[in-house]
Amino acid sequence: MTVIVQPTIAEAARVAAQKIAQAMRKKPNLVLGLATGSTPLRLYEELIRLHKETGLDFSRVTTFNLDEYLGLPPDHPASYRRFMQDNFFSKINLNPNHTFVPDGLTQDITRHCREYEALIKSCGGIDIQVLGIGSDGHIGFNEPTSSLASRTRDKALAEQTRRDNARFFASLDEVPHGCITMGIGTILESRKCLLLAFGQNKARVVAEAVEGPVTSMIPASALQFHADASFIVDEPAAANLKLRAYYDQAFANELLGS
């Protein structure tokens, strides 16, 4: 696991975008796992900029989103399909037929989840998975106590998660109680994971995920098992890291070797 601390959100997003762009130039048909919410927005803005200003080509890229609310149609303002369309897909040259988001209206959840897993495998697996981290340490919608071997499935949302996400709805009452999410086991099969975390309110869970024990109570801590996982954080989110000097040294050496 590597930890990359940047002074600002913009600079952290730039580092993450450059890693993705570099991988896309080496493999134009990259399979990219995507996250939603406020955290990855700056990353998507930077990728859009690279597309417009440098010609970064998404025409052969395939995307899989981590999760979706149960019960929301894809055109609902708070659905993750709508979020991705409005904030990313519509602004780059990505083939709409190559974008996959779990179906929140599926009538057969078990079958849909099984088919989503099979579709990921049929595309060769996810090359880079973008992640955020919830205030309780969740990745995707894998809430605390989720199995570290879990696969794509339906999941009940914790009340803390519903409160955190209420800002995207008219009221807390409108926030769904359930979702479909890739499992932790699914995420760990990605070849590379990039977790973004910004702000003081993420400092505790970032430190616990990176430097604490691996535990289902902090689902993001499972990334300690991953061979190529990076936490890319701003200064406030890095505030509780004990080995900060080491992480800075390691990143400086990475840049010198590039």
For residue range 202-252, list pLDDT tens digits in order: 999 999 999 999 999 999 999 999 999 999 999 999 999 999 999 999 998
pLDDT at 69 over 80: yes
Average pLDDT (186-196) is: 98
Q: Which domain holds residue 141?
A: 2-257
Q: Which of 46, 67, 127, 164 is catalytic?
A: 67
- In this structure, is the dihedral angle defined by the CA atoms of residues 118, 123, 129 and 130, taken in order, positive or negative? negative
> What is the Cα–Cα distance from 169 to 185, expressed in whole angstroms?
30
For residue 257, what pLDDT is reported? 56
Edge-first strand order for the sheet with 99-100 is: 2-6, 229-234, 192-197, 128-131, 31-34, 62-65, 99-100
* pLDDT, mean over the chain: 96
Instruction: Return all residues near 6 (Cβ < 8 A) that are at least 6 apart.
Output: 12, 14, 15, 232, 233, 234, 235
pLDDT at 184 over 70: yes
- Which among 106, 154, 152, 127 has a CA at the least distance from the CA of 60? 127
For residue 254, what pLDDT is reported? 79
Q: How many helices (H) and strands (E) does the chain have?
A: 8, 10
Are 209 and 1 within 8 A, CB to CB?
no
For residue 180, what pLDDT is reported? 98
**pTM score, whole prediction:** 0.95
Q: Which of 76, 112, 138, 226 is catalytic?
A: 138
Locate 195 and state its tokens.
């977790």
Q: Which of 11, 57, 115, 136 is catalytic?
A: 136
Count of the separate structural domains present in the chain: 1
Q: Which of 46, 68, 117, 143 is catalytic?
A: 143
46 an active-site residue? no
67 an active-site residue? yes
189 an active-site residue? no
Average pLDDT (122-135) is: 97
Identify the CATH number of the domain in which residue 236 sits.
Answer: 3.40.50.1360
Locate 137 and state its tokens.
């340490």
Q: How far, CA to CA in Å, does 180 sit from each of 38, 70, 140, 184?
A: 19, 7, 9, 13
For residue 256, what pLDDT is reported? 63
234 an active-site residue? no
- Which among 184, 188, 180 has a CA at the least distance from the CA of 219? 184
> What is the Cα–Cα distance from 9 to 39, expressed in whole angstroms?
9
